[in-house]
Amino acid sequence: MFIDPHIHMSSRTSYDYLTMREYGIVAVIEPSFWLGQPRTNIGTFKDYFSSIVGWERFRASQFGIKHYCTIGLNPKEANNEALAEEVMELLPLYACKEGVVAIGEIGYDDMTDAEDKYFRQQLDLAKELDMLVLIHTPHRNKKAGTSRSMDRCLEHKLDPSQVIIDHNNEETVEEVLSRGFWAAFTIYPMTKMGNARMVEVVRQYGCKRIIVDSSADWGMSDPLAVPKTARLMLQRGIPDDHVRAVCYENALAAYSQTGVMKAEDWLNPSAIDQSQLFNGNSVLRGQEPGIESVQDYDVLIE
């Protein structure tokens, strides 16, 4: 079994869900993020948040996958301050919805004053609601941005064990682990981390507090990155228990801390009934609905 704790399924197809389940992915976490072009009004945020707490949760269930999400103002969008102010008023309404496991992904993009302002406000919100935090580290100036992100979390009195620092690489991992935070790695080979590099990170640092995810979205990304990385780790001699930790157990340990995410959610699943509708809509687009237990799926990777 695998968990992909950072994947943007609103950008993926239902066929991706089917394939992911066949490869052993039992649960996903979908962080709210930038859609590729600027949102222009608060209604677009409201519709997007509603989609990831509603439609995507339903769509995943139709293929035997448990769907959770995180709610936050992405750092790239924090630079539109007029709109960001409205989003900050909206966030508490969605942060406590069913299936929301953290405030995120938040942090820095260009490390502007506006990004810092709304990052701090969202850390305060997480503290107030006693929620976990998912941090987006910047693509540029990653080491400095990662260090500053952790500094801000500590300044706002967050427990490092309740903060997941994502998009790490070889340059940031040692500091993140030494300061007690969770270190997540995105297998997104063109811009972040390839799976062969991930193998060597686990070989060097072990498996404690290390998490593998795909961050698959509308870009050149792979929703099967977690099981494929697990397979490569096994092929290259990483111990089975280390692979299970970084591709399943650590994500569960990190995100189950507030009780929203539980292994029982997928270990004791309900039967899949694709004849069900969400607000009158089906995932099938005219295809014949399937009705079967989750155990009927052939898992390609164990």
Phi-psi region of 158 (alpha: psi -120 to 50; beta: other; left: phi over 0): beta
pLDDT at 226 exceeding the cut of 70: yes
pLDDT of residue 279: 72
pLDDT at 71 exceeding the cut of 50: yes
Give CA–CA dist 163/183, Å, rounded: 9
Q: Which amino acid is at 122?
A: Q
Q: What is the pLDDT of residues 150-175, one digit of tens each?
A: 999 999 999 999 999 999 999 999 99
Q: What is the pLDDT of residues 228-271, one digit of tens each?
A: 999 999 999 999 999 999 999 999 999 999 999 999 999 987 77
Helices and strands, number each (H, E), in the chain: 12, 10
Strand locations in the chain, DSSP E? 2-4, 25-31, 66-71, 100-107, 132-136, 163-166, 182-186, 210-213, 272-273, 291-292
With a CB cutoff of 8 Å and minimum separation 6, the contacts of 197 are: 169, 170
Q: How far apart are the first and last CA of the chain?
A: 6
CA contacts within 13 A on the Cβ side of 45: 23
Q: Which amino acid is at 281?
A: N
CATH 3.20.20.140 holds for 2-262: yes
pTM above 0.85, yes or no: yes
